[in-house]
Chains A and B, each alone.
Chain A
Amino acid sequence: MTTEPETSTVEVNGFPIRVWRKGTGPTIGFLAGFGGLPRWTPFLDELAQSRTVIVPSLPGFPGGDRGHTVLDSHLDWLLAIRQILDLAGLSGADLAGSSVGASMAAEVAALWPGTVGKLILIAPFGLYDETNPPADPWAQRGDAVPGLMCADPEIWKALKTPPEGANSIEWPIEQVRANEAAARIFWPLGNTRLEKRLHLIKAPNLLLWGENDKVMPLSYADLFAKGISGATTTRVIAGAGHLADLDKPVEVAGEIQAFLSAG
């Protein structure tokens, strides 16, 4: 049974950023994937069973207001995220991220190695392999998006369905804004040249990939593993799509817990 987390707010560049917190134990941060988190998810509950889970929103993603609108360069984004992590109390903590959030987590670990403990990356954005390009998540017919993001489209639909009492006008605008914020970082190819910085990542890291990821090809796991300097453990999540944490919450949380407890 999913229960609600505590919610607080930090401010970066004059915009409020929602921070969720739940659970007890050592702290782990989580940065959400494409589309963001309009609601708390079963995966976070799983993780909160043995960890204090802190989930700051990214600018422009649900809970991140319109903070993306003042971020014009990649440096702007990375500095905003670094500030958010610090204000959320995540400096030095273990850090996980999915999809676009994983790309940001990898960047932080590369640029400020001292601020990240162990690193967990679920199918990060940021690389571009010409021989096997990622799908274009911004050129899709509306009905194709759920099946692109999740192996089980119903999971994405449930995540994005307005809850009882939600503002019927602002809710859909917030979901579009999440896609816009991702576009602001990654348009048009998803290539932020993260490749150049991967070798700066020294943190021990776990690389998770949905077996049926239709956005970021599974072959990208190798590119990350080869590029990162720190020791990498790679695990493919059976039956999961791009947002593996949504498709397979128990399995993904289980892999993370196993990785974190193994020394």
Chain B
Amino acid sequence: MKLMWFHLMPYTDLPEDFREANPSVWVDIPSSLFDPKRAHLMYNDFMDELEYAAEVGFDAICVNEHHSNGYGLMPSPNLIASALSRRTKDTAICVMGNSLALYNPPTRVAEEFAMIDVISGGRLIAGFPVGTPMDTCYAYGTNPSQLRQRYHEAHDLVIRAWTEKDTFAFNGRFNQQRYVNIWPRPIQQPHPPIWVPGGGSVETWRWCAEMNYVYCYLSYYGYKAGRATMDGFWAEMDRLGKDRNPYQAGFLQFIGVAESREQAFELYAEAAEYFYGRCLHVDPKWATPPGYTSEGSQRAGIESQVKQAADAGVRGKSTGERFASVARDMEGIVEKGYVIIGSPDEVAEQLREVATQLNVGHLMLLLQYGNMSKELTRYNTKLFAEQVMPQLKDLHASWTDHWWPQPMDADQRAEVPAYTPKLAAE
């Protein structure tokens, strides 16, 4: 079982009346709310937290890409990943990921990921999301009717850029390059492991299955709502005659560990309510640019709505409907399983069930969320590492993780420069 520590890097100073006073945390969030000097401290705290997670033994530290977003301060996760590569030794660096269609030319992704892979000595996990509607179509202006075609073409170009030995010309539908020949080349051969975060679309499940990529469901709505999506992925894998290797799947889960469930409820309520209340305040008008959702997925969505008209679950609803029906108080947040809280034993027991039922070998855990302080984040992370992690490591032991980075031998790798993470994190 792999336990990965994920940071969204939320802006932690959104005002209390953010929901009432502003239409959206995303796309048109007022820049007047952004204080660069406060953000300086946030970035440094967040990077300390990621380094701390590596130090206490998480298998990977994860970053991701968002644009014009008040709960995701990483338009370029590669910048953070690059810094982390220099401050960690053996931990995998998971960039979850680069939205391929947004890079022009897409060989930029091949280059930057290769740089991180080389700097880190082969520790990169290369995430290839399509990207949300807010990030891709609105903040970046990509045509929703071409987004998926561009994504797939960019993928093909990046793979060729990583794997072909000679300079080649790429004659694509959207990208034409006479001379493709990236320097540097990735350490991991033929290329870093590719993970694909996606929603519940049949096309994405099938594509991951056929390409032998890891499928990740990065939902903010926890294991209860995520079950149907992961079941869908495994059903598609079965249909295609693929192994049910849990390491071909990743799943995101919010966590709050404390001495007891009551204490966890008390400790994490503010941060959770900040996240689900202020951060997940997205104007539904940004949710459905036409063409973003494939017609196959629309069809499946409408069919499932017709079949399960009474289903109160999340699947089959539009992004806009999801945002509108989110639980925003701690009772609801815990009840619906968005955040798993409890004593170390209770959290371990719930996560064993999640990992088993969803058949997931990579748990991507959010132990910092909303406006959680550095101290509380550190407490949550430490308690998890010391008392929860050991109870989970044996899970899925009979399977081999074919999708984990293969770094250079440790004795061949450069020394990490002298630094004092303990002091940095204090």
- Which chain A residues have a beta carbon within 8 Å of chain B's beta carbons? 68-69, 72, 138-142, 144, 168-169, 172-173, 176-177, 179-184, 187-188
A–B pairs, 11, beta carbons within 8 Å: A72-B174, A138-B137, A141-B283, A169-B306, A173-B298, A179-B291, A180-B290, A183-B144, A187-B141, A187-B144, A188-B143
| B289:A183 contact, CB within 8 angstroms | yes
| B145:A173 contact, CB within 8 angstroms | no
| A177:B295 contact, CB within 8 angstroms | yes
Q: Which residues of B contact A68 (CB under 8 A)?
A: 145
Which B48-101 residues have a C-beta within 8 angstroms of A?
none
**How distant is the Cα of A196 from the Cα of B171 in the complex, in angstroms?**
30
Report the nearest A residue to B27, measured CB to CB: A139
Q: Which residues of A contact B299 (CB under 8 A)?
A: 169, 173
B320 at the interface (CB under 8 A from A): yes
- Which chain B residues have a beta carbon within 8 Å of chain A's beta carbons? 137-138, 141, 143-146, 173-174, 283-286, 288-291, 295, 298-299, 302-303, 306, 320
**How distant is the Cα of A142 from the Cα of B146 in the complex, in angstroms?**
22
| A172:B302 contact, CB within 8 angstroms | yes
Point out the residue from B138, B291, B302 that lies within 8 Å of A184, measured CB to CB: B291
| A169:B303 contact, CB within 8 angstroms | yes
Pairs of residues from A and B, 9 with the lowest C-beta to C-beta distance, nearest first: A180-B291, A184-B145, A179-B290, A180-B290, A187-B143, A188-B141, A180-B145, A141-B285, A139-B285
Report the nearest A residue to B143, measured CB to CB: A187
Point out the residue from B173, B290, B302, B306 that lies within 8 Å of A138, measured CB to CB: B290
| A139:B138 contact, CB within 8 angstroms | yes
Q: Closest CB of chain A to B200's CB: distance in Å?
A: 17
Q: Which residues of A contact B289 (CB under 8 A)?
A: 138-139, 183
Q: Closest CB of chain B to A189's CB: distance in Å?
A: 9
Q: Which residues of B contact A179 (CB under 8 A)?
A: 290-291
**How distant is the Cα of A1 from the Cα of B295 in the complex, in angstroms?**
35
Q: A72-B174, A184-B146, A188-B141 are in contact. Are A176 and B306 (CB under 8 A)?
A: no
Report the nearest A residue to B296, measured CB to CB: A173
| A138:B144 contact, CB within 8 angstroms | yes
**How distant is the Cα of A173 from the Cα of B174 in the complex, in angstroms?**
26
Q: Which residues of B contact A183 (CB under 8 A)?
A: 143-145, 289-291
